[in-house]
Structure 1
Amino acid sequence: MLDGKVALITGAARWLGRGYAETFAAQGAAVIVADIDAAGAQAVARSIRDGGGQAVAVEMDVSSEASVEAGVAEARRAFGGISVLVNNAGGLFAPTQAAETFSVEQWTRAISVNLTGSWLCARAVIPEMKAARRGRIINVTSTTLDHGLPTEMVPYISSKGGVVGLTRSLARELGPYEITVNAVAPGLIQPQTRKDGSPLSEEKLRSIFDLVVANQCIPRRGEVADLAGPVAFLASDAARFITGQVLNVDGGWALK
């Protein structure tokens, strides 16, 4: 499905990003595994190559303009022009707490990685996509944007709302160049390890999963594989006339 594509995937050293990278490679794409965790990115790229796929690792802090520019330049040297960007890097970065108790530093960290990072990466690849008159940008937002949660995650949810705005504005601007810009909104996805999780305690995480799963149409926890297919589809030529959309991949939670 992705033969001939060159895909830059951020936050790809683990969990969802790793799942996207492995799926893209299996579908024929050359993959740039970008992550602030250089050793983790190298391990994922090596695993893909060992399986017969094409992959290189790039160290990248998406909240840093210089790091993004350097990482994208390194990716181009490896595979040439980037035709797909998956803005996956992100996270909570703080425990849940009342809105008025978050520090400016906690707020800024969420915005700088989840939102500003997505914009910086898009900005870095847009000129070559325009020149080629093709491209796919896939941002990652969150289904919490539709419902919030009975947990205090104001910086995170606010930043993910900004990602939706970024998606829609870029889709309008880049459509004349045959560049599509979409977002996926995951529901709650089962972490594969505690490292893949969040600052939430096991008890807090379990209570959130219980609440959300009870309100889904499909009453089970989401898995990495549930996201990888939809993201690969949006990167493919089959999705060439889909842009400016937010695809909820949440077992029907947003429906309710």
Structure 2
Amino acid sequence: MQRDEGRSGERRPGTGRFGEYGVLVTGAGRGIGAAICRRLAAEGARVLVTDVDGERARRTAQAVREAGGRAEAAVCDVGERASVEAAVALAVDLFGGLDVLVNNAYAHHPDVPLFEDSSEEDWARDLDITLTGAFRCARAALPHLAAAPDRRGAIVNIGSVNGERDFGGHAYSAAKAGLASLTRTLAGHAAPRGVRVNLVAPGTVATSVWEGKETALERAAREYPLGRVGRPDDIAAAVAFLASADASWITGVTLPVDGGLLTGNLALRRALGEADG
């Protein structure tokens, strides 16, 4: 287990909406995951930034610290049980417990032109990292989340509108739909233990994966009722809410953060002359 030089210690009162709390975020080296770390640190969290790429995790943690937050970094491959369990153990050691788990890590292989030419290896990888990886993390973290004071333990999964509608990506979409189902079943199981489990379903978000494809983002923005694609901070704000005391009576939900994409078919409404603008 590679990690920054962390500082373990006892919990201390904080000023965030949940007071001071310990958070582990997977896939947090860039994009949405990095934005989540920045936002939760600003809310008073001590954050363990994890990523399969240790250098990316360290850069995110350093940026959080430079902004006045508290963060450490560690390598975590959610495809490996031992790596997941080591990351959870490190978070507990650093923070004196674990209050929030954010499952953000995913894999996404592009579709091939013909479904029958799809690779079983790519399919299995997308499901293993995106869905089973979240399962591994939740399994390792749940006993610690259940021990969090004031019944404030929470899991926030990062899903996708792909898990709700057809936007392409067979394996990725199936994995995200499975993650939404796991969110509901785990919420029912974990509720008596004082742990809430919810999912944020982003639409198109302008992250580094879209570099060089800005024209596609501009075209996509026209299909969103709110007129733009998302920003990583849009998703981070929703995660911060679901992780906070403000959401203490919310569990098992899928919260779309999608600029209105799932409300209907904007292109069809325009074709029929029923949309403004």
Question: Does the pair score TM above 0.5?
Answer: yes
Which deviates the most, 91-100 or 137-146? Answer: 91-100
Alignment of structure 1 residues 72-91 onto 2, 5 Å: 72-91=88-107
1:114 to 125, 130, 136: 130
Higher-RCO chain (CA-CA 8 Å, sequence separation at least 6): 1
- Which letter does structure 2 place at the counterpart of 1:108? A
* Percent identity over paired residues: 39
Alignment of structure 1 residues 218-237 onto 2, 5 Å: 218-237=226-245
1:35 and 2:51 correspond: yes
Misfit runs of 4+, over 4 Å: 205-209
Name 1:167's counterpart in structure 2: 183
Two-structure CA RMSD over aligned residues (Å)? 1.8
Provide the rounded CA distance (Å) in 2 between the counterparts of 1:3 and 1:89.
26
Provide the rounded CA distance (Å) in 2 between the counterparts of 1:47 and 1:232.
18
Contact 1:136 1:180 in 2 (8 A): yes
Name 1:6's counterpart in structure 2: 22
Deviation at 1:216, TM superposition (A): 2.1
Name 2:271's counterpart in structure 1: none
Structure 1 residues 111-132: Cα deviation after superposition (integer angstroms, max 9, x where no partner): 0100000010000110122233
Alignment of structure 1 residues 56-205 onto 2, 5 Å: 56-132=72-148, 133-149=151-167, 151=168, 153-191=169-207, 196-197=208-209, 202=212
SS at match of 1:148: coil
TM-score (norm 1): 0.90
- Which letter does structure 2 place at the counterpart of 1:218? L
Provide the rounded CA distance (Å) in 2 between the counterparts of 1:19 and 1:172.
29
Structure 2: gaps (5+ residues): 1-16, 265-277
Structure 1 residues 21-54: Cα deviation after superposition (integer angstroms, max 9, x where no partner): 0011111100000100101111111221222211
Structure 1: gaps (5+ residues): none
Contact 2:23 2:91 in 1 (8 A): no
TM-score (norm 2): 0.84
Provide the rounded CA distance (Å) in 1 between the counterparts of 2:159 and 2:90.
27
Alignment CA distance shift 1:112-1:190 (3 Å): same
Deviation at 1:147, TM superposition (A): 2.2
SS at match of 1:182: strand
Alignment CA distance shift 1:162-1:209 (3 Å): farther
Provide the rounded CA distance (Å) in 1 between the counterparts of 2:105 and 2:20.
24
1:20 to 30, 36, 39: 36
Deviation at 1:96, TM superposition (A): 4.8
Structure 1 residues 156-184: Cα deviation after superposition (integer angstroms, max 9, x where no partner): 10000100111000000011122110000
